[in-house]
Structure 1
């Protein structure tokens, strides 16, 4: 049995875990920092509780609109989020995201794992997007 591709990224964020958690779970904050590449968030609906749903709509510089949505499977305030991830254009390719937050001095060590990708190319595209997004999160709290 083959293992589906996955990725793991880490960042040290210059804010307490509670603040970083809110940046992931409050729509107004998420819209300010989650900017993968040339995309801007134009809509965010987040019901950050177990079985709650979320939807994020992006507008790319070329005018294309992208939408991702999913369901929260685990929510541990200030420490952990686990949620499904599926693009509107390919809902059958659902994957899984885990965000772990650990206190690190005056900041937070964030570990993001995204797994169950359909193939390596999809994983590689998400690696770029998440890296850009987490860079934006670092700047948001700089």
Structure 2
């Protein structure tokens, strides 16, 4: 029987403040949890901002490489998260930029300002402690949304990487 961390326990900062701090203990080796963050087919299994999961995930895992997680695609628009890898130290650290983007059929594009995410993976016996810091999100409402989104995703990640 796997003991799971309650979903509400992942958020370590006050809701709506900058930076957003998320932390969890996962019953898997750092290499396994790092892979869950860096391989498209793995990300698609736990990064679920809405019911139904991702439409697609693309990852060019190198410093300067781009990533894009599409959460909605229709004839009218595509909605996705995107960014660029700033630091990769497998399996201990991952840092990347982050934007929420809507691209419309008429060619217009709306995007949030760029924020920054740093994730560390630290061995804790047979488990891994993951510490995520998401900073530079402009508004309190956006920070609340991103914080609850990461909290939900960490809940899915617990189940995904557990033995």
Alignment TM-score > 0.5, same fold: yes
Q: Is the radius of gyration larger for structure 1 or structure 2?
A: 2
Q: Which residue of 1 aligns with 2:142?
A: 122
How far is the alpha carbon of 1:38 from its aligned partner?
2.5
Partner of 2:82: 69
Distance verdict in 2 for CA 1:52–1:29, change over 3 Å: same
CA RMSD of aligned residues (A): 1.8
TM-score, with length taken from structure 1: 0.89
| Runs of at least 5 residues in structure 2 that lack an aligned partner in the other structure | 1-16, 103-109
Shift of residue 6 of structure 1?
A: 1.7
TM-score (norm 2): 0.78
Match of 1:24?
Answer: 37
Hey, which bits of structure 1, 4+ residues long, moved more than 4 A? none
- Per-residue CA distance 1:31-75 (angstroms, 9 max, x = gap): 111113425111000011100000001149xxx853010000000
Residue correspondence of structure 1 range 88-99 to structure 2 within 5 A: 88-89=101-102, 90-99=110-119
1:141 Cα offset (Å): 1.8
Equivalences, count:
136
